[in-house]
Amino acid sequence: MADETAQVGPAPAAPEAGSATAPGAGQTTGGRREGGYGGGRDGGRGRGGPGGGRGPRRRDGDFFEREQSDLTEKVIFINRSSKVVKGGRRFSFSALVVVGDKKGKVGLGLGKAGEVADAIRKGNEDAKHNMTNVSLKDVTIPHEVLSEYGGARILLRPASPGTGIIAGKTVRAVVESAGVKDILSKSLGSKNAANVAKATLTALQNLRLREQIYKERGMQIRPRAKQAAAALVEQVTT
């Protein structure tokens, strides 16, 4: 056989540190990929690289209370339920949302979906469809009222100016959305958020102003004693 002579060429230059061909920059060496934190496999998502990670975190302020035009949306409660299926567990979410304009109009809605954001959106739409007017006297309620819904019992009482809202988080969310700023309340029954919110809304719907009661009974509003006395003094002096 004829002797074959291998031609020996110049040795390849060592790659410079930081170059695209240096190990550790996503190149394959010895059948094993040396990828860094900046990129994942096959140029995909990695830990901390561009496009990777979990994305920006949602702030609680943006999540639980938002103002849309003249309406205020508040998420009262989010419930998670799970169903065991062949492949594992399937989760679903329900969101209880209250919407109001803080001028005597408020609504309560419940949304269910496979994602939290979708459940809140459905609850917001349902609350807008269920909005109703409530009777207020300035920034408080005209009289005391007791309401029941399921196992929840809610007592609401008018308060003097500057008192504020003395209530739990569920009752506070409903009365604030309606526009109440001074009120006293007490929860006397169940602490279930849905029943407490519905009992509070029922109590607000049962409120009646003095003018409305007289009109329903077909009576005329008589001036109070002080007003009548002041009018009489004015007539005498003139």
* Per-residue pLDDT tens digits for 132-172: 999 999 899 999 999 999 999 999 999 999 999 999 999 99
Domain ranges of the chain: 61-211
Q: What is the dihedral of CA 161, 162, 168, 173, to 10 degrees?
A: 70
What pLDDT is stored for residue 226 in this prediction? Answer: 61
Question: Do 94 and 122 contact (CB within 8 A), yes or no?
Answer: no
Which range has the worst mean pLDDT, 76-80, 102-106, 190-194, 227-231? 227-231
Interval 16-66: pLDDT, tens: 554 444 444 444 444 454 444 444 445 444 444 444 454 444 444 333 556
- State the residue for tokens 């007017």: 133
The answer for residues whose C-beta is within 8 angstroms of residue 173's C-beta and 6 or more apart is 74, 76, 98, 197
Q: What is the mean pLDDT of residues 169-187?
A: 94
Q: Assess contact for 155 and 144: CB atoms under 8 A.
A: yes
CATH number for region 61-211: 3.30.230.10
pTM, to two decimals = 0.64
Count helices and strands (H / E) in the chain: 6, 11
Neighbours of 49 (CB within 10 A): 16
